[in-house]
Structure 1
Amino acid sequence: MPAGFFVAVTAVLYVTHAVLVKYASGKIDPFSGIFCWSLGALLAGCAALAWGRGSAFAGAISGAGFLWVPAFLMAAAGLCIGIGSLAYAAAFNKGVDFSFATPVVNISVVTGGLVFGYFLFSENLSLERVAGIMLGAASIILLSRS
């Protein structure tokens, strides 16, 4: 399958994640919620390992074999997502509007992706991408005023 398919699936699932966290906030203790979230992620990971050999996921889960440094980096990434999800749920528990929090988080991820892509991975930072960062910053300012 083309790479764009996986990007689209990721986007749909991340939006679904945001909606589900909003629905659950205030109805479950944040730590119980993150436990359930982590359990779901573990089940998805186990399913990918079981199904992934010989599929499009094979390169993502095997690569050159199991290496401890990439495994540690992925575990650290999972820790960041877990703590981020706790903070996300806490924001909703404090009454932050979904229509504010979700765009701000996503725009921040886009901006961070562009900046870190440039500095860490030597990716192109074109004028159009800089304009996108500026529009993202402007949208956060506008969202915070309403």
Structure 2
Amino acid sequence: MNRFLSILFLSIILINCTSNTIIKKPDHLIPENQMVDLLTDLLLASGAENVKNLQLKRKVNYYPLVFEKYNIDSTRFKESNYYYSTKVDEYDQIIRKVETRLNEMLHKYEKEKRVQDSIKNYKRTIDENEGDAFVK
């Protein structure tokens, strides 16, 4: 009998402790593909916070510009983000797509930077060689 009560008590605790994260789909849910774009831009905006802008200012909040770009407000984003975060598999796919996109952007930037650096090095080499021609 004691064992039965222990199992019953444990079952009640487990049932009560399980997450009831089944939430209603928001009326204005951001589509998954737009959510990927939005999260990508929000992460870029977050990273840009510590970089000086054209006015040489730091700590600029770019989030409102991102929300304006997608024509949504922060409440709609929060509701959609919360909804997707309760659907772990879907949210994981969204985050993976964002990560892939950011990695692609990083590789593109690194490639462009290497090209720019090689052009600078080439110009420097030409300038140095022209200087040597005048000395001889």
TM-score (normalizing by structure 2): 0.29
In our comparison, the structure showing a higher alpha carbon Rg is 2
Structure with greater proportional helix content: 1
